[in-house]
Amino acid sequence: MQSFDLSLFLKQFLYDPKNPLLFNNGFFVYFFAVFISLYYLLRNNATARTWLFCFFSLYFFYKASGFFVGLVLLSAVIDYGLSNAIYKARTKSTKKLLLITSVVINLGLLFYFKYTNFFIALCNDFLAAKINPLNILLPVGISFYTFENLSYTVDVYRGEFEPEQKFMNYLLFLSFFPKLVMGPIVRAKDFIPQLHKPYEVNQQDFSRGFYLIVSGLFKKLVISDFLTTNFVDFIFSDPSRYTGLECLMAVYGYAIVIYCDFSGYSDVAIGMAKWLGITIPVNFKSPYQSKSVTEFWKRWHISLSSWLQDYLYIPLGGNRKGKVRTYVNLFITMLLGGFWHGASWNFIIWGAMHGIALAMHKLWMSNNKQFIDRQSNKTYYRLMAQFVTFQFVCFCWIFFKAVDFNTATQLIMQITHHFSLSVLGAFWSNYQYVIYMMALGYLLHIIPDDFADKMLQRAHRVPMFAYVGVFLVFVMVYAHFKTGEPVMPIYLQF
């Protein structure tokens, strides 16, 4: 016997730490339906629309992270105030002082919430200190909105644009719910001007948004979650129990998991923004097709790599201070970029390996320019370069995924010392659905970038019921593969 429970119903509106709001919660369906209806009703009143959007975004944040929502509000107030003060300041030194204040506050908050315990552990290990770790929870999305705040005040300081006069617009820029939890990192100069425009969605935007949302959800909720629960997680949690072949496949499995997880979430955010009349630049462009690590970082998490380039690599001197400094700058940028992903040595190692690889690639390019120019258009060279780049990226993922250095080396040891194809038969019979799912993931990944666009150009012939039908089929597929308690997206804690 089932009955409606009012107290359960009311509880749905409160933050539940065990079930934070994500795009795949049932609650989100209602949230979005109510939001979009009101947003449409207020379409002709830009101010009301912004207020509504802010309210829903902050509420989304509350449902995802509890009272940490206050941090977004606080940092919006501080950076809104500081950016306007920077703009109005008359002397360069005052501007600089204000900018430094903004950087210190933003990085201070990020440092406190994300890195305090890491450095306490470091002191305990190296200085034999006996400091107890603090009970600090990481506010969702703090890494993302901290970077957004920083780029904003830096851009104002550089005189690239006038700071936003309306506080609510700035608050919306920071808290915009589609990208709040896992990015992409949005730039104010791209985002805020769009808030002043009327709410317009053309046919292309609608179909493209639909495609991005459904394919993004499919990548995240079906492929990534299936592979995570049914293969990757248990192998990475104790590689010593598995054969070299299983461990190697877990690495390739994780490569597709992290891609589907992260690009899937980005796609949903970009697609949802499209439906709301806002364009966010693409964040992933089939990164595993890259022919070099340099190219990989132009295709992987583009909003982060471009942020690191503009606000870290270039201020460090970029390539303007000689070859050696260029390599050092690349290394430092990637090292810190790695550390941004999480407070552990493994992320630092991951970043360092990418930093070294970027520097080596630059060196290789400058020393073999003629050879590369001659070969780069040849198929064998392209395939070889793609293969080598992909293997390197996968190797680095081992450190990214493993819980500690020891686990990462265990996994590598299993692959190098306990690899035998004699287990192939057993592997196939046990994991064939995992292999199918991995193959599907890689297949989706290799779809050429312009293929989807070409298909979508014909989408004006598609009637509404077909969109609804496709979506319902997706929901049923999702229901079939549903992995139970929501699997936290990997970048959530970043």
Q: Which residues bind other proteins (CB under 8 A)?
A: 1-5, 8-9, 12, 26-27, 29-30, 32-33, 36-37, 40, 43, 199-206, 209-210, 229, 233-234, 236-238, 240-241, 275-277, 403, 410, 413, 417-418, 460, 464, 467-468, 471-472, 475-476, 478-480, 482-485
Please, which residue, 1 or 127, has the CB nearer to other proteins?
Answer: 1
Please, which residue, 170 or 254, has the CB nearer to other proteins?
Answer: 254
Q: Are 196 and 46 in contact (CB under 8 A)?
A: yes
Please, which residue, 125 or 373, has the CB nearer to other proteins?
Answer: 125
Please, which residue, 12 or 94, has the CB nearer to other proteins?
Answer: 12
> What's the min distance (Å) between Cβ of 350 and other proteins?
20
Q: Are 452 and 263 in contact (CB under 8 A)?
A: no
**What is the C-alpha to C-alpha distance for residues 302 and 53, in angstroms, rounded to an integer?**
26
| DSSP states of 413-460 | HHHHHS--GGGHHHHHHHHHHHHHHHHHHHHHHHS-HHHHHHHHHTGG
Q: What SS3 class is residue 317?
A: coil
- Cβ-proximal residues to 10 (8 Å cutoff; 6+ apart), any chain: none
First to last CA, the chain: 43
Query: Would you give the DSSP letter of residue 423?
Result: G
> What's the min distance (Å) between Cβ of 414 and other proteins?
9
**Token digits of residue 387:** 């293969």
**Token digits of residue 301:** 């998490």
196, 301, 341, 354: the catalytic one is 341
> What's the min distance (Å) between Cβ of 253 and other proteins?
13
> What's the min distance (Å) between Cβ of 217 and other proteins?
12
445 is catalytic: no
C-alpha torsion sign, points 178, 473, 301, 352: positive
CA nearest 209: which of 474, 456, 465, 469? 456
> What's the min distance (Å) between Cβ of 107 and other proteins?
25
> What's the min distance (Å) between Cβ of 61 and other proteins?
20
Please, which residue, 92 or 417, has the CB nearer to other proteins?
Answer: 417
Please, which residue, 8 or 128, has the CB nearer to other proteins?
Answer: 8
Hey, what amino acid is at 185?
Answer: I
The residues annotated with a catalytic role in the active site are 341
